Structure 1
Amino acid sequence: MLLGDAGVGKTLLLRDLQKPVLQRHGYFLISQCEEFGQDEPYACLVQALRDLIRQVLTESETQVARWRSRILTAVQGNGQILVDMMPEIGLVIGPQPPVRDLSTRETQNRFHWVMQSFIRVFATVDHPLVLAIDDLAWVDRASWNLIQQLTQSLDPLALLVLGSERTDRWKAFLDRQNQTAAVETIAIEGLDRAWITQWIVDSLRCDHGTAEPLGQLIFNRTQGNPFFAHQLLEFLHRQRLLRFNFDLGRWQWDLDMIHNRGITEDVIDLMVAKIRNLAPMAQSILKLAACIGSEFSLQDLEALCEGTGGLREGLQEAIQSGLLIPLLARSVEGWGRRSARDAQADQHFKFIHDRVRQATYSLMQDDERCSQHLKVGQHGLQQMLAQRQDDRLFTVVQQLNLGRALMQNPVQLLELAQLNFNAGRKAKRAAAYEPALKHFVTAQELLPEELRDADFLLKIDLELAECQYLCGQLTEAETTLQSLQDASQAPLIQAQIYALQMACCIHQNRYEEAIDLGQQGLTILGAQLPEVTEADRVLDALQNRLIGYEVDQLVGLPRAEHDRALQSQMQLLQYVAAAAITGDRARYQMAICQMVALSIQHGNTERSAYAYVAYGTILGAGLGNYSGGHRFGKAALQLSLQFNALQGITLFSYGGLLAHWKEPFDACENHLRDAFQHCYRMGDLLYALYTLALSTDVHLLSGLPLHQAQQEIDSFHDLAQQRQHASMLLDARVKQQFLLSLRGMTTEAASFSNAQVAEADLLAQLQRPSSPKNTLSRYFIYKAQSLYLCEQYDQALEMAQRSQALVHHHFGVVVAVEHYFYYALIPGGPLRQRWN
């Protein structure tokens, strides 16, 4: 991060780094974030990646073909996701097949994985990639999250991210994100008085003694800020306080007159004065451009100023005044084959500094700004409709939203509500849930009462509730969902509402409430969950139904992926199982049995793989039929491959809950390693953490040397800390302290205390009601083991007895075996002592 005050030269330094990067065969991409662009998901990254695509398109046909092959190989059939975000890439990779609809979480994971895979194609050791981002504090949240994933990736990546920002805005940005950032910072300071004086000497061709008083004055006013100093010197010249004496052949100034003039110390005031001195047409152009953005095209200006004379003259005046600078043409279509006239129409310009745009924007009253934004938005909408592409949807909607105060026509408001709804859905598909939420809220607000359509309002509210949940606004999501209970009597809509309510409850550990909601949702669909007392009967009925079936036959059952009622029922049952697994084994068992029975009756869905692997766990850990459970786990793996869904979760369940009953520990480690890589690659970092938690259990049991096991657990701890996952951090801490105890690196034998961690504080944290019971159980298991090894048998027995009350929380997990192993050994400890 290059940090410093506005105008100190951060942007210039950032752009000057391009040449040495290109000389070393690297790729240099630069992007500028804007305050008004924060609601456009991935705006920052897409702007930079589009430049990368343009670079590719300038290469030979042979090289473009190579890039096409590499990109398509990397994204594995998901090229349409890239085309939706950056239509230009279609010129490289060609038409792409549509991608399959997935659940919300899987959609997010897939999107992140595709974007990372695309960037990895270019960020190689031979051709490192530098991503330079100006005004980084205005970055949209989606881009920021993806940048963090890229820079904190466990896989090597030849990527350097450079950012520039004002020091105060960067600190405020990190405060808003409620986090720190692992960055190297370079402070860019203003010029000192000697440099300012030397600049005066070089600019005005005078001696040092003559320049020093003026240099002192400019330094005092600007604190050495180069941009401000330059503007101040220009202001003095415009006001004839600095003028060239042709008779004497030198520059002259009167310091007393300058002091008496009362010159402002705010660069914005200087810029406003400069703009007001321009001709009316030049001022109008700057105001319109300030509403378009920091960068704009001549083509847009001509369309928006149609019928207005003097456009090019006004534009030229703004350029000659040093307020705008021309850029290279940006169009990709027909690259290198345009006529001179077309190239001129495609000419782009930008403000020389964001302070110039800020000053121009401040000259307008609210009504004028509103009117300009509305004009820009309507022009953009016409273009979008004519081209039948929605690649500018976010920009158009943003402009229209800024101008909506002038919209009085209910039909216009309804159209804008629909546009916001479309933008919200597009943002949601791109896993940008916060911008999506804003668009759905705006759509809801815009819907005019006289044209309010119940079906459209229901669609908005359903999307709104899901985004509120995904953004962590659980109370708001539950309020929205509660208001929807009577909005539709359609069973599938009702089931969707119940599923979202269950997700909110599970997220807050309100498991009983989630199970009750699941039962209500199933009733709406014409199904029900039997009473708890019926759990064994349900299991027996399923086992009887499976008689005559080979487990492999289940994989070949018909696919029922288009049966929406079945999909809804399977989702509700899976959520019931998730809510019941740690505290209500009977309901967990019934939910899983019903999912398997539904799959046999109607055919397999994506969730059937989860049902089969969970049923395998019930057979193994619950009934002792380890061979049967193992076969169901294998079938689940095959099915997840067929559907190309839930592969990470299925591998996690198989490797962590089933495989250890029938396969060696090294095989379990391989399964869990594959599960971690799949989850991590797809962005499912929650299950990646769960996988590491079970992997470290296996490492501790498999005889891995202690220092190597410590490294694995430290990696687990680092990822949990990176993701700020409190429960997994606690789990990792318990394992770290246990290993340190075994290695003799704690304060005393069998103690879990060291200089960094007090065992009493750790135990107090574990015993809080909000802490997971399985982690508390792990502590007791490991503590009993440490005490046993140190021959403190009475205390070891007490720990084992406390673990016994909690061991059921480790259903299927190998650490439960460790508990029973030591629970059996501990009573024999005193006998061994007496024998010795």
Structure 2
Amino acid sequence: MHDRVQQAAYALIDESQKLGVHLQIGRNLFEKTSPEQRAERLFEIVDQLNYGTELITEQSQRNEIAKLNLQAGQKALAATAYEAAFKYFNTGLKLLNVESWQREYDLTLVLHSEAAEAAYLSGHFDEMERLVEEVLNRAKTVLDTVKAYDSRIQAWLARGNPKEALKAGLEVLQLLGISLVEAPSQLDVQAGLEETASQFAGREIEDLIDLPEMTEPVPLAVIRILASIVGTAFVVRPALMVLIACKMVNLSITNGNAIWSLLGYAAYGMMLCGVVQDLELGYRFGKLSLNLAKRLNNKRGNCKALLMVNFHIIHWKAHLKETFPALADAYQSGIESGEFEFAGYCAFSLCYCPFFAGQELTELEQQTAIYRKATSQIRRETVSTWLAMLQQTILNLRGQSENPSRLVGCLYNEEEALSQAIACC
């Protein structure tokens, strides 16, 4: 009854006055709500204020509401409400004026950077590219561009172009003073592994978890970008991944542990197992990664560590089936935190590993179909293609194709997809 009375009263308000009413409601809510409650009612307050922003002409007031939209967007982003976050960030940007890069640099930078992230997470790639370009053109320092570059990397991955993602990562690393050999030789790889081995010589691997926290801005930016391209390098240029893993470990030992150090330790452990054939040492680095992930308690970090360790390390010493529960946890952590790149790799592993472990094909075909649909929804085109290949393989094995020796069917056609597959790899 109360809601109906409110609706009736609202209907009686003249259209020309409604904007002012919403604006006043928003101001009253903001002023009369305690700071503790304000965080809980943030969306309600900002939504009311946004209705009436065209009535506000004083730029200082518009800037304050832009800051509230920034907070609302960040809260929505944390809750994986990406479309809502994008809307709030865009509203905040519209409240700024043409001089905002000069007069409100920090606010303008963070709104553009956050909007770019929300844009790629919600699939607005053209808008994301426009926002990234604006940051690259206006930012005062290289460090101020790192978040925008990271969004560009993730957007290329979402669009199924890992080569461009890797190119963008190497570009910003160069700007940060880090030069990596794009096509490493065997000698380059050997030199990288030897340098890293010398870094922890005489140390107990398990003690690396107690390194101090990494605090210097440049190493933090570098390890963030390395973490963004390490998976891509594995797909596009595996030898380069070895150097990236080594660089991440070197940075951590020299500058302290960051959230992405756990991925560096896991990737390095993978190299030790698969390249160096030192299973014991690789396994210890894998355990170090998992223990650090547990200590840091970060869902994005947890997703990456669990995937890398369970897909690339654990199976050297344990049965493949023992990794399935951890891989499922990794997938869930990735979905819940917006870590869609590694969530996609988790989906891949949760289908291919059971296939190699001998799971019953009817059940596995249904499971693969579910994950293939899920990876499409989070815009992971490359992984979705890999899963289509597997699902078609299963259909072939079950006699549901014209020629079981060729991947040509309703889900995948090897003749049509060959050139695209070569381009992705």
Do Structure 1 and Structure 2 share a fold, with TM-score over 0.5?
A: yes
Normalised TM-score (structure 2): 0.83
Structure 1: how far apart are the matches of 2:36 and 2:350? 52
Structure 2: how far apart are the matches of 1:698 and 1:369? 58
Amino acid at match of 2:400: T
Amino acid at match of 1:462: S
Equivalent residues of 1:468, 1:474 under 8 A apart: yes
CA separation of 1:501/1:402 partners in 2, compared to 1, >3 Å: closer, same or farther? same
Amino acid at match of 1:579: T
Other-structure match for 1:802: none
Equivalent residues of 2:112, 2:131 under 8 A apart: yes
Other-structure match for 1:454: 105
Residue 656 of structure 1, aligned match among 307, 311, 317:
311
Q: Percent identity?
A: 24
The alpha carbon displacement at 1:387 in A equals 7.6
Task: Trace 1:503-522 onto structure 2 (pairs within 5 A).
Answer: 503-522=154-173
Amino acid at match of 2:322: N
Residue 545 of structure 1, aligned match among 199, 203, 207:
199
SS of the aligned residue for 1:479 comes to: helix
Note if 1:580 corresponds to 2:229: no
Query: Residue deviations 1:669-711, cap 9 Å, x none?
Result: 122322213432663585455335334434343445xxx3431
Structure 2: how far apart are the matches of 1:418 and 1:590? 41
Query: Residue deviations 1:296-342, cap 9 Å, x none?
Result: xxxxxxxxxxxxxxxxxxxxxxxxxxxxx3xxxxxxxxxxxxxxxxx
CA separation of 1:731/1:353 partners in 2, compared to 1, >3 Å: closer, same or farther? farther
Other-structure match for 1:421: 70
SS of the aligned residue for 2:39 comes to: coil
Other-structure match for 2:352: 697
RMSD: 3.3
Other-structure match for 1:631: 284
The alpha carbon displacement at 1:582 in A equals 1.4
Structure 1: how far apart are the matches of 2:395 and 2:36? 65
CA separation of 1:531/1:746 partners in 2, compared to 1, >3 Å: closer, same or farther? closer
Equivalent residues of 1:717, 1:729 under 8 A apart: no
CA separation of 1:434/1:737 partners in 2, compared to 1, >3 Å: closer, same or farther? closer
Residue 487 of structure 1, aligned match among 116, 135, 138:
138
Task: Trace 1:332-731 onto structure 2 (pairs within 5 A).
Answer: 349-351=2-4, 361=11, 364-384=13-33, 389-448=38-97, 452-530=103-181, 532-533=183-184, 534-556=188-210, 558-645=211-298, 646-663=301-318, 665=319, 668-680=320-332, 683-684=335-336, 686=340, 687=342, 690-704=345-359, 708-724=360-376, 727-731=382-386
Task: Trace 1:160-171 onto structure 2 (pairs within 5 A).
Answer: none
Normalised TM-score (structure 1): 0.45
Task: Trace 1:256-335 onto structure 2 (pairs within 5 A).
Answer: 325=1
Amino acid at match of 2:206: D
Structure 2: how far apart are the matches of 1:739 and 1:404? 56
Structure 1: how far apart are the matches of 2:139 and 2:125? 22
The alpha carbon displacement at 1:512 in A equals 4.1
More strand by percentage: 1
Residue 735 of structure 1, aligned match among 372, 380, 390:
390
Structure 2: how far apart are the matches of 1:388 and 1:700? 51
Structure 2: how far apart are the matches of 1:517 and 1:773? 17
Structure 1: how far apart are the matches of 2:34 and 2:358? 65
CA separation of 1:766/1:365 partners in 2, compared to 1, >3 Å: closer, same or farther? same
CA separation of 1:688/1:470 partners in 2, compared to 1, >3 Å: closer, same or farther? closer
Structure 2: how far apart are the matches of 1:676 and 1:695? 7
The alpha carbon displacement at 1:661 in A equals 2.8
CA separation of 1:444/1:526 partners in 2, compared to 1, >3 Å: closer, same or farther? same
CA separation of 1:526/1:583 partners in 2, compared to 1, >3 Å: closer, same or farther? closer
Amino acid at match of 2:228: Y
More helix by percentage: 2
Note if 1:758 corresponds to 2:409: yes
Equivalent residues of 1:689, 1:716 under 8 A apart: no
Equivalent residues of 2:72, 2:85 under 8 A apart: yes
Amino acid at match of 1:444: L
Equivalent residues of 2:162, 2:232 under 8 A apart: yes
The alpha carbon displacement at 1:570 in A equals 0.6
SS of the aligned residue for 1:517 comes to: helix
Structure 1: how far apart are the matches of 2:204 and 2:53? 63
The alpha carbon displacement at 1:730 in A equals 4.3
Amino acid at match of 1:574: A
Amino acid at match of 2:113: L
Larger gyration radius, structure 1 or structure 2? 1
Amino acid at match of 1:393: L
Structure 2: how far apart are the matches of 1:603 and 1:395? 41
Amino acid at match of 1:638: N
Structure 2: how far apart are the matches of 1:748 and 1:482? 49
SS of the aligned residue for 2:326 comes to: helix
Task: Trace 1:773-784 onto structure 2 (pairs within 5 A).
Answer: none
CA separation of 1:765/1:747 partners in 2, compared to 1, >3 Å: closer, same or farther? closer
The alpha carbon displacement at 1:351 in A equals 0.9
Query: Residue deviations 1:104-162, cap 9 Å, x none?
Result: xxxxxxxxxxxxxxxxxxxxxxxxxxxxxxxxxxxxxxxxxxxxxxxxxxxxxxxxxxx
Structure 2: how far apart are the matches of 1:522 and 1:720? 33
Task: Trace 1:119-198 onto structure 2 (pairs within 5 A).
Answer: none
Equivalent residues of 2:344, 2:383 under 8 A apart: yes
Equivalent residues of 2:372, 2:388 under 8 A apart: no
SS of the aligned residue for 1:613 comes to: helix
